[in-house]
């Protein structure tokens, strides 16, 4: 951290609301947005960062320092490295929809990320207007198993205000992102929750970034307080490579059982005397959660082995 004189009138506080690669849009405390450049060798700010910055000309500035982050969400860059995309998140909203995709495996993958980062997850099943009397009981049963392990669960539809309001309630006063597979309705929900706001930010970013406004990561203000960060990178969020230990830490419902395993280094897969597997057999851990765990653990172990064999 660089030291900044608090009473230096030229150094101001701001919030990074958009990011264009070589410059960022910083919202000053009075709500005005300035295009800010980065100094050479400056640690890269991301959307959601609180920064210290200085005015250069009428509406441009320079970033002086990034304030300490309370969380940092990264995604895999496809080569196993992590790329930071959003800072200071409190909540991640994991969105699924009955069609096209309602997958426990994906939910559990996202939950691991949230658990490891210490960010509160909310699970949303969107497009509930498409559920029928035939499909509703199955969907509700699958959601209930997440409620049982104390994750907040919301059923929503962009055509029904009640569910959207419930989603908004979870975001109020917080900095949040929506993640989930393509086509589940994330953009539609964001549009509903940030009505009007998108136009204002769109105007600002178009000044500095040409026509790339649809691909930029952006922070929106929610009408009742709080921020929603929208980013293609966040939405298509991919887990960076995680270790088997991290997979295990990401399953909050397993934690109470792991002390009861016969072997201290039990991975809860094939080991005899495994308390986690006993809990699955006795219905204390859901079979779907355990199936996700097996698959994610297998992937993590394969990554680990390939790393050691190079």
Ligand X SMILES: Nc1nc2c(ncn2[C@@H]2O[C@H](COP(=O)(O)OP(=O)(O)O)[C@@H](O)[C@H]2O)c(=O)[nH]1
Applying the rule CB under 6 A, the residues between 184 and 203 that interact with ligand X are: 184-188
Q: Tokens standing for 258?
A: 């792991």
**Which of the choices Mg ion, Zn ion, ligand X, none does residue 274 contact, using the CB cut-off of 5 to 8 A by kind?**
Zn ion
The residue (of 145 and 187) whose beta carbon lies closer to Mg ion is 187
- For the bound state, the minimum distance from the C-beta of residue 151 to ligand X, rounded and expressed in Å, comes to 20
Question: Considering only residues 266, 279, 280, 285, which one is a binding residue for Zn ion as defined by CB under 5 A?
Answer: 266
Applying the rule CB under 5 A, the residues between 202 and 261 that interact with Zn ion are: 261
The residue (of 219 and 279) whose beta carbon lies closer to ligand X is 219
Contact residues for Mg ion (CB under 5 A)? 187
- For the bound state, the minimum distance from the C-beta of residue 257 to Zn ion, rounded and expressed in Å, comes to 7
- For the bound state, the minimum distance from the C-beta of residue 126 to Mg ion, rounded and expressed in Å, comes to 12
State yes or no: residue 183 binds ligand X (CB under 6 A): yes
The residue (of 145 and 187) whose beta carbon lies closer to ligand X is 187
- For the bound state, the minimum distance from the C-beta of residue 166 to ligand X, rounded and expressed in Å, comes to 13
State yes or no: residue 123 binds Zn ion (CB under 5 A): no
Who's near 67: CB < 8 A, 6+ residues apart? 13, 49, 50, 51, 52
- For the bound state, the minimum distance from the C-beta of residue 308 to Zn ion, rounded and expressed in Å, comes to 23
Applying the rule CB under 6 A, the residues between 110 and 169 that interact with ligand X are: 126-127, 129-130, 157-159
Per-residue exposure over 242-266, b if at least 16 CB sit within 10 Å of its own CB, e if not: bebebbbebbebbeebbeebeeeeb
Residue 68's CB is within 10 A of a number of other CB atoms, namely: 10
Who's near 162: CB < 8 A, 6+ residues apart? none
**Which of the choices ligand X, Zn ion, Mg ion, none does residue 183 contact, using the CB cut-off of 5 to 8 A by kind?**
ligand X
d(CA 68, CA 114): 19
The residue (of 187 and 294) whose beta carbon lies closer to Mg ion is 187
* H or E element, residue 60: strand 60-66
Residue 11's CB is within 10 A of a number of other CB atoms, namely: 15
Strands 175-179, 227-230: pairing kind: parallel
Question: Considering only residues 153, 276, 296, 300, which one is a binding residue for Zn ion as defined by CB under 5 A?
Answer: 276
Report whether 204 contacts 25 (CB < 8 A): yes
Q: Tokens standing for 297?
A: 């653990």
The residue (of 161 and 273) whose beta carbon lies closer to Zn ion is 273
CA dihedral for 24, 4, 227, 177, sign (positive or negative): positive
The candidate with the shortest Cα–Cα distance to 148, out of 251, 19, 15, 285, is: 285
- For the bound state, the minimum distance from the C-beta of residue 79 to ligand X, rounded and expressed in Å, comes to 25
Q: Per the omega criterion (within 30 degrees of 0), is the bond before 274 cis?
A: no
DSSP character for 42?
A: P
- For the bound state, the minimum distance from the C-beta of residue 273 to Zn ion, rounded and expressed in Å, comes to 8
The residues of the shown chain that bind ligand X, judged by CB under 6 A, are: 126-127, 129-130, 157-159, 182-188
The residues of the shown chain that bind Zn ion, judged by CB under 5 A, are: 261, 266, 268, 274, 276
């Amino acid at each position: 951290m660089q030291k900044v004189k608090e009473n230096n009138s030229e150094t101001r506080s701001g919030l990074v609301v958009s990011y264009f690669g070589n410059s960022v849009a910083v919202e000053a405390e009075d709500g005005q947005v300035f295009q800010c450049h980065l100094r050479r060798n400056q640690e890269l700010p991301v959307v959601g960062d609180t920064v210290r910055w200085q005015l250069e000309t009428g509406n441009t500035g320079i970033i002086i320092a990034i304030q300490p982050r309370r969380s940092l969400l990264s995604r895999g860059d496809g080569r196993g490295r992590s790329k930071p995309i959003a800072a200071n998140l409190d909540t991640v909203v994991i969105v699924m929809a009955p069609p096209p995709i309602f997958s426990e495996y994906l939910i559990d993958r996202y939950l691991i990320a949230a658990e490891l980062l210490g960010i509160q997850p909310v699970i949303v099943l969107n497009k509930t207007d498409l559920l029928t009397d035939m499909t509703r009981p199955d969907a509700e049963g699958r959601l209930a198993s997440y409620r049982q392990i104390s994750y907040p669960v919301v059923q929503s539809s962009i055509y029904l205000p009640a569910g959207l309001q419930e989603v908004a309630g979870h975001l109020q006063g917080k900095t949040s992102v929506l993640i989930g597979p393509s086509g589940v309705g994330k953009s539609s929900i964001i549009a509903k929750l940030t009505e009007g706001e998108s136009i204002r930010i769109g105007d600002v970013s178009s000044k500095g970034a040409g026509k790339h406004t649809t691909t930029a990561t952006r922070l929106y203000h929610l009408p009742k307080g709080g921020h929603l960060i929208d980013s293609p990178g966040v939405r298509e969020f991919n887990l960076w490579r995680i270790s088997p230990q991290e997979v295990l830490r990401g399953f909050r419902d397993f934690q109470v059982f792991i002390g009861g395993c016969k072997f201290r280094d039990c991975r809860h897969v094939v080991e005899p005397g495994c308390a986690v597997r006993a809990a699955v057999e006795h219905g204390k851990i859901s079979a779907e959660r355990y199936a996700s765990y097996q698959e994610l653990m297998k992937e993590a172990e394969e990554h680990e082995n390939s790393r050691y064999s190079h």
